[in-house]
Amino acid sequence: MRILVLQHLESDHPGMLRNCLSEYDIEWDAVLLEKGQEIPDLNAYDAMWVMGGPMNVWDIEKYPWLVDEKNAIRFWVEELKRPYLGICLGHQLLADALGGKCFPQDTPEIGIFEIELNNNGINDTIFNGMDERQFCLQWHFVKVKELPKNSLVLASSSLCEVQAMKVGHCAWSMQYHVEVEPETIDNWISDTDYRFSLEESLGKGVLDDIKKQATLLMPNLNSNCRKIFSNFLSVLR
Protein backbone atom coordinates (compact mmCIF):
# COMPACT_ATOMS: atom_id res chain seq x y z
CA MET A 1 0.00 0.00 0.00
CA ARG A 2 1.32 3.45 -0.93
CA ILE A 3 -0.18 6.90 -0.32
CA LEU A 4 0.59 10.08 -2.26
CA VAL A 5 0.58 13.24 -0.11
CA LEU A 6 0.38 16.63 -1.82
CA GLN A 7 1.82 19.35 0.42
CA HIS A 8 1.68 23.08 -0.17
CA LEU A 9 4.18 24.04 2.53
CA GLU A 10 6.74 22.04 4.45
CA SER A 11 4.93 23.01 7.66
CA ASP A 12 1.62 21.69 6.32
CA HIS A 13 2.52 18.01 6.56
CA PRO A 14 0.28 15.11 7.65
CA GLY A 15 1.05 15.79 11.32
CA MET A 16 -0.47 13.16 13.60
CA LEU A 17 -1.35 11.11 10.55
CA ARG A 18 2.38 10.43 10.07
CA ASN A 19 2.35 8.49 13.33
CA CYS A 20 -0.57 6.43 12.08
CA LEU A 21 1.21 5.66 8.82
CA SER A 22 4.32 4.60 10.70
CA GLU A 23 2.40 2.37 13.10
CA TYR A 24 0.76 0.54 10.21
CA ASP A 25 4.01 0.45 8.21
CA ILE A 26 2.38 2.19 5.26
CA GLU A 27 4.64 3.77 2.64
CA TRP A 28 3.95 7.34 1.57
CA ASP A 29 5.51 9.94 -0.69
CA ALA A 30 5.21 13.67 -0.08
CA VAL A 31 5.28 16.08 -3.02
CA LEU A 32 6.27 19.62 -1.97
CA LEU A 33 4.46 21.66 -4.58
CA GLU A 34 5.80 25.02 -3.41
CA LYS A 35 9.31 23.65 -3.96
CA GLY A 36 8.53 22.89 -7.59
CA GLN A 37 8.32 19.12 -7.15
CA GLU A 38 6.26 17.45 -9.85
CA ILE A 39 3.29 15.20 -9.23
CA PRO A 40 4.34 11.62 -10.09
CA ASP A 41 2.46 8.94 -12.00
CA LEU A 42 -0.81 8.61 -10.09
CA ASN A 43 -1.30 5.00 -11.10
CA ALA A 44 1.45 4.00 -8.66
CA TYR A 45 -0.63 4.96 -5.60
CA ASP A 46 -3.55 3.53 -3.66
CA ALA A 47 -4.73 6.75 -2.00
CA MET A 48 -4.22 10.51 -2.24
CA TRP A 49 -4.07 12.99 0.62
CA VAL A 50 -4.07 16.73 -0.04
CA MET A 51 -3.03 18.93 2.87
CA GLY A 52 -3.66 22.54 3.87
CA GLY A 53 -1.90 25.79 3.03
CA PRO A 54 -2.29 29.59 3.19
CA MET A 55 -2.97 29.99 -0.53
CA ASN A 56 -6.46 30.07 -2.07
CA VAL A 57 -7.88 27.88 -4.81
CA TRP A 58 -8.04 30.86 -7.18
CA ASP A 59 -4.39 31.94 -6.65
CA ILE A 60 -3.23 30.34 -9.89
CA GLU A 61 -1.19 33.34 -11.05
CA LYS A 62 0.86 33.39 -7.85
CA TYR A 63 0.94 29.60 -7.58
CA PRO A 64 0.67 28.21 -11.14
CA TRP A 65 1.21 24.65 -9.91
CA LEU A 66 -2.34 24.78 -8.54
CA VAL A 67 -3.56 24.12 -12.08
CA ASP A 68 -1.72 20.80 -12.32
CA GLU A 69 -2.78 19.91 -8.80
CA LYS A 70 -6.45 20.44 -9.59
CA ASN A 71 -6.10 18.37 -12.75
CA ALA A 72 -4.49 15.57 -10.73
CA ILE A 73 -7.27 15.67 -8.14
CA ARG A 74 -9.92 15.59 -10.86
CA PHE A 75 -8.28 12.64 -12.60
CA TRP A 76 -7.82 10.81 -9.30
CA VAL A 77 -11.44 11.12 -8.19
CA GLU A 78 -13.28 10.94 -11.51
CA GLU A 79 -11.12 8.55 -13.51
CA LEU A 80 -9.14 6.40 -11.09
CA LYS A 81 -11.88 6.52 -8.46
CA ARG A 82 -9.46 5.77 -5.63
CA PRO A 83 -9.71 6.94 -2.00
CA TYR A 84 -9.01 10.63 -1.38
CA LEU A 85 -8.65 12.63 1.83
CA GLY A 86 -8.48 16.43 1.72
CA ILE A 87 -7.76 18.68 4.68
CA CYS A 88 -8.47 22.44 4.77
CA LEU A 89 -7.10 23.67 1.42
CA GLY A 90 -7.31 20.04 0.26
CA HIS A 91 -11.04 20.20 1.06
CA GLN A 92 -11.48 23.38 -0.96
CA LEU A 93 -9.40 22.06 -3.85
CA LEU A 94 -11.55 18.93 -4.08
CA ALA A 95 -14.65 21.09 -4.44
CA ASP A 96 -13.07 23.52 -6.89
CA ALA A 97 -11.47 20.86 -9.08
CA LEU A 98 -14.78 19.04 -9.49
CA GLY A 99 -16.96 22.03 -10.30
CA GLY A 100 -17.88 23.40 -6.89
CA LYS A 101 -17.17 26.96 -5.76
CA CYS A 102 -15.26 28.47 -2.85
CA PHE A 103 -15.65 32.00 -1.51
CA PRO A 104 -14.14 34.09 1.29
CA GLN A 105 -15.84 33.47 4.60
CA ASP A 106 -17.52 36.46 6.28
CA THR A 107 -16.11 35.48 9.68
CA PRO A 108 -12.89 33.44 9.65
CA GLU A 109 -12.75 30.34 11.82
CA ILE A 110 -9.43 30.30 13.65
CA GLY A 111 -9.10 28.35 16.87
CA ILE A 112 -11.02 25.52 18.51
CA PHE A 113 -14.60 25.20 17.27
CA GLU A 114 -17.30 22.56 17.39
CA ILE A 115 -18.57 20.77 14.31
CA GLU A 116 -21.67 18.59 14.13
CA LEU A 117 -22.28 15.56 11.96
CA ASN A 118 -25.58 15.41 10.10
CA ASN A 119 -27.37 12.15 9.31
CA ASN A 120 -25.15 11.63 6.27
CA GLY A 121 -22.07 11.99 8.42
CA ILE A 122 -23.35 9.81 11.24
CA ASN A 123 -23.93 6.99 8.78
CA ASP A 124 -20.77 7.45 6.72
CA THR A 125 -17.74 5.17 6.92
CA ILE A 126 -15.27 7.99 7.55
CA PHE A 127 -16.97 8.96 10.85
CA ASN A 128 -17.73 5.45 12.03
CA GLY A 129 -17.59 5.21 15.84
CA MET A 130 -17.20 8.97 16.33
CA ASP A 131 -19.24 11.46 18.34
CA GLU A 132 -21.95 13.47 16.62
CA ARG A 133 -20.41 16.67 18.01
CA GLN A 134 -16.64 17.13 17.91
CA PHE A 135 -14.20 19.87 18.82
CA CYS A 136 -11.56 20.55 16.20
CA LEU A 137 -8.87 23.02 15.17
CA GLN A 138 -9.95 25.47 12.49
CA TRP A 139 -7.74 27.86 10.53
CA HIS A 140 -9.49 29.13 7.41
CA PHE A 141 -10.71 32.29 5.70
CA VAL A 142 -12.39 30.56 2.74
CA LYS A 143 -15.20 28.03 2.63
CA VAL A 144 -16.88 25.72 0.15
CA LYS A 145 -20.00 27.60 -0.88
CA GLU A 146 -21.30 25.43 -3.73
CA LEU A 147 -20.84 21.67 -3.72
CA PRO A 148 -19.54 19.75 -6.71
CA LYS A 149 -21.90 17.27 -8.31
CA ASN A 150 -22.40 13.85 -6.74
CA SER A 151 -21.46 15.11 -3.28
CA LEU A 152 -22.92 15.17 0.23
CA VAL A 153 -22.37 17.44 3.21
CA LEU A 154 -21.35 15.32 6.21
CA ALA A 155 -20.72 17.94 8.90
CA SER A 156 -21.28 21.65 9.57
CA SER A 157 -20.48 24.36 12.09
CA SER A 158 -22.28 27.56 13.03
CA LEU A 159 -20.04 29.56 10.66
CA CYS A 160 -19.43 27.06 7.86
CA GLU A 161 -22.06 24.77 6.37
CA VAL A 162 -19.62 22.46 4.60
CA GLN A 163 -17.18 21.33 7.29
CA ALA A 164 -16.92 17.85 5.81
CA MET A 165 -18.13 16.36 2.56
CA LYS A 166 -18.01 13.23 0.49
CA VAL A 167 -17.74 13.15 -3.29
CA GLY A 168 -18.62 9.94 -5.09
CA HIS A 169 -18.00 6.74 -3.20
CA CYS A 170 -14.54 7.29 -1.68
CA ALA A 171 -13.44 10.94 -1.71
CA TRP A 172 -13.67 12.69 1.65
CA SER A 173 -12.57 16.09 2.86
CA MET A 174 -12.68 18.21 6.00
CA GLN A 175 -12.35 21.97 6.35
CA TYR A 176 -10.81 21.52 9.81
CA HIS A 177 -7.43 20.07 10.75
CA VAL A 178 -7.77 16.45 11.81
CA GLU A 179 -3.97 16.05 11.64
CA VAL A 180 -3.20 18.51 14.47
CA GLU A 181 -0.38 17.61 16.85
CA PRO A 182 1.33 19.60 19.66
CA GLU A 183 3.77 21.30 17.25
CA THR A 184 1.22 22.22 14.58
CA ILE A 185 0.40 25.79 15.59
CA ASP A 186 4.05 26.72 16.17
CA ASN A 187 4.91 25.30 12.75
CA TRP A 188 2.23 27.37 11.07
CA ILE A 189 3.09 30.68 12.68
CA SER A 190 6.71 30.22 11.65
CA ASP A 191 5.37 30.79 8.12
CA THR A 192 5.04 34.48 7.24
CA ASP A 193 1.80 34.07 5.24
CA TYR A 194 0.05 32.21 8.04
CA ARG A 195 1.19 34.65 10.72
CA PHE A 196 0.22 37.70 8.68
CA SER A 197 -3.27 36.36 7.90
CA LEU A 198 -3.85 35.59 11.58
CA GLU A 199 -2.71 38.95 12.91
CA GLU A 200 -4.60 40.81 10.19
CA SER A 201 -7.92 39.17 11.06
CA LEU A 202 -7.73 38.64 14.82
CA GLY A 203 -4.95 40.93 16.03
CA LYS A 204 -1.83 40.06 17.98
CA GLY A 205 -1.92 38.06 21.17
CA VAL A 206 -4.58 35.50 20.23
CA LEU A 207 -2.16 32.63 19.65
CA ASP A 208 -1.56 31.93 23.33
CA ASP A 209 -5.27 31.29 23.92
CA ILE A 210 -5.54 29.05 20.85
CA LYS A 211 -2.49 27.04 21.89
CA LYS A 212 -3.83 26.62 25.44
CA GLN A 213 -7.18 25.35 24.14
CA ALA A 214 -5.51 23.01 21.66
CA THR A 215 -3.17 21.62 24.33
CA LEU A 216 -6.07 20.85 26.67
CA LEU A 217 -8.00 19.09 23.91
CA MET A 218 -5.02 17.41 22.23
CA PRO A 219 -5.78 13.87 23.51
CA ASN A 220 -9.31 14.14 22.12
CA LEU A 221 -8.14 15.71 18.85
CA ASN A 222 -5.56 12.97 18.35
CA SER A 223 -8.09 10.26 19.19
CA ASN A 224 -10.43 11.61 16.51
CA CYS A 225 -7.54 11.69 14.03
CA ARG A 226 -6.77 8.04 14.69
CA LYS A 227 -10.41 7.08 14.18
CA ILE A 228 -10.60 8.90 10.86
CA PHE A 229 -7.36 7.25 9.76
CA SER A 230 -8.63 3.82 10.75
CA ASN A 231 -11.92 4.39 8.95
CA PHE A 232 -10.12 5.62 5.84
CA LEU A 233 -7.81 2.62 5.97
CA SER A 234 -10.78 0.27 6.07
CA VAL A 235 -11.74 1.46 2.59
CA LEU A 236 -8.27 0.67 1.28
CA ARG A 237 -8.23 -2.89 2.53
Report pLDDT digits (tens) over 16-38: 999 999 999 999 999 999 999 99
Of residues 88, 102, 160, 225, which has the active-site annotation?
88
C-alpha 156: how far from its chain's center?
A: 15
Q: How far apart are the first and last CA of the chain?
A: 9
Average of per-residue pLDDT values in the chain: 93
User: Phi, psi at residue 161, to the nearest 5°?
Assistant: -70, -35
Q: Is the pLDDT confidence value at 197 over 90? A: no
Annotated active-site residue 8? The verdict is no
Annotated active-site residue 225? The verdict is no
pLDDT band for position 52 (cuts 50, 70, 90): very high
Say what the pTM is.
0.93
C-alpha 153: how far from its chain's center?
A: 15
Q: What is the pLDDT of residue 139?
A: 87
Domain spanning 2-236, CATH class:
alpha beta
pLDDT band for position 11 (cuts 50, 70, 90): confident
Round to whole Å and give the CA distance between 200 and 116.
28
Q: Is the pLDDT confidence value at 50 over 90? A: yes
Round to whole Å and give the CA distance between 115 and 73.
26
Of residues 69, 109, 179, 181, which has the active-site annotation?
179
- Each residue of 220-234: pLDDT tens digit? 999 999 999 999 999
Among residues of the chain, what percentage have pLDDT more than 70? 93
Q: What is the pLDDT of residue 203?
A: 67
- Each residue of 122-165: pLDDT tens digit? 999 999 999 999 999 998 999 999 999 999 999 999 999 999 99
Annotated active-site residue 169? The verdict is no
Q: Is the pLDDT confidence value at 206 over 90? A: no
Q: Is the pLDDT confidence value at 82 over 80? A: yes
Round to whole Å and give the CA distance between 171 and 18.
20
Contact 7, 33 (CB under 8 A): yes
Of residues 170, 177, 181, 225, which has the active-site annotation?
177
Beta bridge partner(s), residue 85: 49, 172
Q: Which of 117-126, 152-161, 190-199 has the lowest mean pLDDT?
A: 190-199
